């Protein structure tokens, strides 16, 4: 049974570093393009949420109707922990959804796509979210550091009938070689092999093998891996399809790891024709064909996501701080409620799903429900849980300039009247220039903090750009 492609989405973090700045720090001359970097409140999970949010909204799909979620990321935010469950809950997928988390190499993105496709083809899942994301953390000074970026893509798979695109031929090859490597006790990825050895004996033979198998259909567009900023062009020449569609993605965001294969392709789903996707990582290369019959919802918006005109430029020092590779001496004061607190168990759903309690008697929404057994307006005891609206208007706000680490100033905080009438007070993901009484805001998932080493996620407000 073929599998339909219903919608796509993409996400990029809020900072960009010029590759040349990183190269210069290590007295190297080379360094073209930019790489996307996560701010302190972004990571692979928040990027994944954002890509899924975009895909669902493009197609008008309610997450509650999705019954499976597959996530591929080289490095999930909890090395062992509830990575997929946290993402699924924040996305709004029901608690009975199927799916799996693929990790451990950049090939994880392709694994997630194929895992979801098999479940849809088998009929065990009707609507599946495939999301691929990464925020790479290379060792400082490593040869590939300047090309390491961050980004995410999402694809909604479902029944083929009426779908604008479908999955086709796939081919995989693997060899038990090391390439990029990170041991269980290491936090930074490193290169093991000599560059020429990797290129001639590992990368090109594997990737060319699977790409060759896709050439017979003469794809309109290619997404090809480019782990070092040069191999992608070499591959494109050998495959013979002209510049790959993925080249502009790599130039803007850098290598996005497990996200790169799909992120390099989804923008090309905006017109009819075949798109060949080749992913590589961990000694494995896989090629997949996607046959596009009509523009896929969300595909035309991928270019806007990649456009970095609203992104903040970051210096190399900022990049190192954001990646936790430049840390101040001395102990930091622990902030917030320890994540082992029962409060995080009681609060998990209301925080990640953004819940309120609507008064059966007067209709007022009190939030969060766990501290509101009674209505804030009439005092009534009958409240029913509701998902809060995701957009609203600023009623009043401040811009905080004086906070201890890990908070970073300036931090706007706004009281926002959501469109369903609920009032919330949230941090704003902005430097304050777009915050004013009456400004429109949309709620987005962000990483609030590392509480004693554990990532904690919740919603922030983001100014809605007038279009």
How far apart CA 307 and CA 267 sit, in angstroms, is: 12
> At 455, phi and psi to the nearest 5?
-65, 135
CA 89 – CA 109 distance, rounded (Å): 20
Q: What residues make contact with another protein under the rule CB under 8 A?
A: 333, 335-337, 343-344, 347-348, 350-351, 366-368, 370-371, 376, 395-405, 407, 410-411, 413, 415, 423-427, 432, 437, 448-449, 451, 456, 458
Q: How far is the CB of 439 from another protein (least distance, A)?
A: 12
CA dihedral over 410, 51, 113, 272, signed as positive or negative: negative
Q: Which of helix, strand or coil describes residue 425?
A: strand
Smallest gap, in angstroms, from Cβ of residue 86 to another protein? 12
CB of 212 to another protein, least distance (A): 51
Least Å distance, CB 436 to another protein, is 9
Give the number of other Cβ atoms within 10 Å of residue 453's Cβ: 6
CB 294 within 8 A of CB 319: no
The DSSP secondary-structure symbol of 371 reads G
* Nearest by Cα to 220 from 263, 270, 172: 270
Q: Which of 273, 266, 275 is nearest to 301 (CA)?
A: 266
Instruction: Name the residue with tokens 């926002």.
Output: 416
H/E segment holding residue 273: strand 273-281
Closer by beta carbon to another protein, 217 or else 456: 456
**Residue with Cβ nearer another protein (23 or 425):** 425
Of 216 and 402, which has the nearer Cβ to another protein?
A: 402
Choose between 128 and 424: whose C-beta lies nearer to another protein: 424
- Residue number, 23 or 376, with CB nearest to another protein: 376
Minimum CB distance to another protein smaller for 387 or for 437: 437
Task: Please report how many Cα atoms fall inside a 13 Å half-sphere around the Cα of residue 35, on the Cβ side.
Answer: 33
CB closer to another protein out of 91 and 411: 411
- CB 50, min distance to another protein, A: 20
In the complex, the smallest distance separating the C-beta of residue 440 from another protein, rounded to whole angstroms, is 17
Least Cβ distance, residue 423 to another protein (angstroms): 5
Minimum distance, C-beta of residue 347 to another protein, in the bound complex (Å): 4
- According to DSSP H, which parts of 153-245 are helical? 195-197, 204-214, 231-239
Q: Which is nearer to another protein, 156 or 414 (CB)?
A: 414
Query: Which residues have a Cβ under 8 Å from the Cβ of 11 and sit 6 or more positions away?
Result: 47, 48, 50, 51, 54, 133, 151, 152, 153, 305
Q: Which is nearer to another protein, 48 or 426 (CB)?
A: 426
Nearer to another protein (CB atom), residue 316 or residue 448: 448
Quickly list H helices, 28-107. 44-59, 83-91
User: 391: which residues sit within 8 A by CB, 6+ positions away?
Assistant: 418, 419, 440, 441, 442, 443, 464
Q: How far is the CB of 113 from another protein (least distance, A)?
A: 33
Please identify, using beta-carbon distances, which residue of 41 and 145 lies nearer to another protein.
Answer: 41
Nearest Cα to Cα of residue 6 among 109, 125, 103:
125
Nearest approach, Cβ of 9 to another protein (angstroms)?
Answer: 26
Other C-beta atoms lying within 10 Å of the C-beta of residue 104: 16
Q: How far is the CB of 411 from another protein (least distance, A)?
A: 5
| Residue partners of 80: CB distance under 8 A and separation at least 6 | none
């Amino acid at each position: 049974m073929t599998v339909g492609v219903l919608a796509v989405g993409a996400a990029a973090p809020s900072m960009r570093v010029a590759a040349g700045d990183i190269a210069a720090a290590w007295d190297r001359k080379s360094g073209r393009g930019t790489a996307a970097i996560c701010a302190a409140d972004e990571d692979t999970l928040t990027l994944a949420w954002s890509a899924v949010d975009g895909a669902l909204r493009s197609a008008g799909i309610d997450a509650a109707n999705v019954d499976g979620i597959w996530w591929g990321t080289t490095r999930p935010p909890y090395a062992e922990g509830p990575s997929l469950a946290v993402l699924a809950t924040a996305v709004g997928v029901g608690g009975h959804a199927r799916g799996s988390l693929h990790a451990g190499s950049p090939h994880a993105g392709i694994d997630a796509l194929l895992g979801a496709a098999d479940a849809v083809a088998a009929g065990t899942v009707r609507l599946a979210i495939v999301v691929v994301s990464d925020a790479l953390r290379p060792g400082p000074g490593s040869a590939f550091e300047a090309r390491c970026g961050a980004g995410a893509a999402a694809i909604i798979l479902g029944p083929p009938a009426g779908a604008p695109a479908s999955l086709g031929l796939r081919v995989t090859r693997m060899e038990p070689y090391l390439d990029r490597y990170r041991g269980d006790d290491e936090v930074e990825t490193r290169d093991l092999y000599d560059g020429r050895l990797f290129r001639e004996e590992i990368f090109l033979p594997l990737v060319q093998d699977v790409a060759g198998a896709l050439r017979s259909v003469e794809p309109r567009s290619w997404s090809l891996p480019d782990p070092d900023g040069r191999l992608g062009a070499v591959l494109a020449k050998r495959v013979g399809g002209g510049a790959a569609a993925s080249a502009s993605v790599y130039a803007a965001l850098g290598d996005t790891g497990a996200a790169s294969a799909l992120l390099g392709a989804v923008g090309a789903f905006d017109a009819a024709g075949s798109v060949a996707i080749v992913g590589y990582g961990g000694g494995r290369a896989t090629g997949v064909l996607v046959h596009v019959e009509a523009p896929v919802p969300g595909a035309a918006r991928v270019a806007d996501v990649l456009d970095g005109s609203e992104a903040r430029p970051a210096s190399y020092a900022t990049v190192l701080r954001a990646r936790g590779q430049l840390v101040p001496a001395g102990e930091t004061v622990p902030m917030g409620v320890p994540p082992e607190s029962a409060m995080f168990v009681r609060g998990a759903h209301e925080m990640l799903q953004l819940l309120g309690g609507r008064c059966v008697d007067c209709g007022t929404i009190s939030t969060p429900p766990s501290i509101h057994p009674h209505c804030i307006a009439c005092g009534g005891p009958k409240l029913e849980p509701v998902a809060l609206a995701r957009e609203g208007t600023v009623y009043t706000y401040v811009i905080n300039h004086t906070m201890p680490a890990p908070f970073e100033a300036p931090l706007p905080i706004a009281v926002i009247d959501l469109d369903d009438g609920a009032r919330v007070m949230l941090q704003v993901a902005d430097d304050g220039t777009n915050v004013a009484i009456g400004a429109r805001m949309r709620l987005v998932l962000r990483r609030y903090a590392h509480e004693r080493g554990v990532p904690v996620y919740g919603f922030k407000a983001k100014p809605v750009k007038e279009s």
